[in-house]
Amino acid sequence: MLAELHIRNYALIDDLKVEFGPGLNVFTGETGAGKSIIIGALSLVLGERPDPTMIRTGAENIQVEARFEDAKSTVHECEELGIESADDTLILRRRAARSGKSNTYANDSPITVNALRRLGDRLVDLHGQHQHQVLLKSEMHSEILDAYAQLTDERCSFAKNRDKLIATEKELTELQKELSERREHRKLTEYQLKELSEANVEPGEVNDRKKEKSLLESAERRYTLARELSELLSEKEGSITELLSVAAKKLEELGRIDRSLKDRLQTVSNVQNALDDLWRELVSYREKIQFSPGRLEEINSRLFYIERLEKKYRVPADQLPGLKSRLKQELDSIELDESKCDEIKQNIKKQKRELLKHAEFLSRKRKSAKLKLEAKLRSELAALGLAKAKLVIDITRPDKIEDLRLKIWDYGIDKVEFLFTANPGENLRPLRKVASGGELSRIMLALKNSLTKVKLVPTMVFDEIDVGIGGRVAEAVGKRLARLGRDQQIVCITHLAQIAKYANSHFLVTKSTLRGRTFTSLKRLEGEKRVKELARMVAGTAVTKTGLAHAREMLKNAEPYAK
């Protein structure tokens, strides 16, 4: 229930607080006093787009706060949005600046405008010039029909089962995604393992290849040095071996002269033998030197390939063999068992069949209820001054109910929409496109009186329900509003005393000028003040004793309905 509305800097309102009561709350007053401004402010705090031109002159922003008590209808939304609610009280607050910036809060928690609208849809149904109303939302038409058909519990059960189906489909999607990722991972692992196996990099291979490369690159220089050394030792005239032979002969002659040097001859012999061994080793080394540009190119290519693998796998060459082993182990561990997917697919088919069976049941019940509700609405609309209007509940359903590819909504397979025409001979069209504000208000009133005891939202607001009516029709509207007020809160703006007399709470909206500024103010009417307002509404001019007596009589006649 809307308990309080606090408005600052909105059009002619400077600072206004309205404390609503249960039952029927009626706002009356002269044209232009600001009655609809109050409803406009309420619409703003329910999520309607702000209009900067509505900011009061001299102010920088509009501030509207609405306090709702016993707001059980928003429990689900509050839980989803993370809004804490104490004692089922919900306070919505909105600030809109001239710059276009808007701030929205629910129980002091910042929320988005979309979240504000979600909460507002569960709290208030507003009928009139504003767009925040149930009948303009075609998705609500099936909910209204189901409420009349007493299918609300069945509808909730269907929605829960559909949620289970969606959860199962999500599980399948996630598992299929996981399997797909595993396949891709397996494919990549197989490719990497194949590449490393074909590369067959051995531990220490890079160092060995680099050593071999160094020898191949220095082959010519090594050959030249070995040749020059062998020549210097023994292969050319005046070689070291030749000179050493000369030295040996001279030492031998000297030893014969001086016997103390005879033993030194062995030293020379040893040197000769060592040099001879060195020469032979150099000759053998020189003959073994390889001149192979092809082999060098092969080694360079191999080293470049290994370097590329190092960069690709981001490991040193010596770790590539270990990586190959790990990839083989990883490949063996990747599971691609699709039996679980097949099991879930069968479960989905089973759930869909059960849902479609349930949907067929709901569809039959709706078809039966639609005819009864249409007949009841014809009677109600006639009483409310729309005898020539026609309202048809259009139910569209697929031909093949058993088709598992059908789109299943959270309420079944039917598309429900109210079609309307106010004038005979005109084609039926979607209600949201053709009905005026006053017509929508009376249609909703007719629906609510047909759906007795069913609360679509806790609070209903009617802004233009008395447009173009009077007399008997106005009396019928008033009685029906009073009847609705017994089960839920109703807020109504009216110019007709026939409606205002049924109010449980009657507010007078007035406009005054002070120090060159215009202000909208409000006061709750009781006793004689209320009698005078009703007399004014009837007379339209000066209030007379007869008018006052008539107003008292009206209130007396309305008492049984207003209780």
Q: What is the pLDDT of residues 48-95, one digit of tens each?
A: 888 888 999 888 899 999 999 888 878 778 888 888 876 788 999 999
Name the one residue in this structure whose structure tokens are 């919900």.
90
CA 477 → CA 447, 469, 533, distances in Å?
13, 9, 19
Tally of CB atoms within 10 A around 341 = 15
- Predicted pLDDT at 358: 92
pLDDT band at 404 (very low <50, low <70, confident <90, very high): low
- What is the pLDDT of the chain when averaged over all its residues? 86
**pLDDT tens-place string over residues 487-496:** 889 999 999 9
* Gyration radius (Cα) of the chain, Å: 49
Q: What percent of the chain has pLDDT over 90?
A: 25
Q: Does the pLDDT at position 459 exceed 50?
A: yes
Structure confidence at residue 129 (pLDDT): 53
Tell me what pLDDT residue 130 has: 45
- Cα-Cα-Cα-Cα dihedral sign, residues 480, 482, 483, 488: positive
Q: d(Cα 20, Cα 6) in Å, to the nearest integer?
A: 11
274, two tokens:
């060592």
Query: What is the pLDDT, as a whole number, of residue 426?
Result: 86
8 pLDDT exceeds 90?
yes
pLDDT above 60 (res 292):
yes
- H-run or E-run covering 296: helix 293-313
Per-residue pLDDT, 33: 83
- Residue 118: both structure tokens together: 């979600």
Q: Are 28 and 494 in contact (CB under 8 A)?
A: yes
Query: Is the pLDDT score of 538 beyond 90?
Result: no
Per-residue confidence (pLDDT) for residue 287, from 0 to 100: 81
Q: Return the structure tokens found at 105.
A: 């809060």
The interaxial angle of helices 320-333 and 293-313, nearest 10 deg, is 50
245 token code pair: 């032979």
Please write the tens of the pLDDT for every residue from 98-146: 888 889 999 888 999 999 988 888 888 887 654 446 677 787 888 889 8
Alpha-carbon gap, residue 494 to 480, rounded angstroms: 14
pLDDT at 403: 54
Decide if pLDDT at 420 tops 60: yes
* Average of per-residue pLDDT across 432-458: 75
Dump pLDDT digits (tens) for 220-244.
888 888 888 888 888 778 788 888 8
Identify whether the C-beta of residue 499 lies closer than 8 Å to the C-beta of residue 492: yes
Residue type at 409? W
13 φ/ψ angles, rounded to the nearest 5 degrees:
-90, 125
Alpha carbons 15 and 33: distance in angstroms, whole number: 15
Task: Give residue 406's pLDDT.
Answer: 57
User: What is the residue type of 530?
Assistant: R
pLDDT at 128: 60
291 versus 495: which is more confidently predicted? 495
Among 152-156, 317-321, 396-400, 556-560, the minimum mean pLDDT is found in 396-400
| pLDDT given at position 133 | 61
Confidence (pLDDT) at 452: 63
Segment 508-531, tens digit of pLDDT: 999 998 888 888 999 999 999 999
Please give the angle made by the CA atoms of 77, 82 and 87, to the nearest 5 degrees.
75
Using a cut of 0.85, tell me whether the model's pTM lies above it. Answer: no
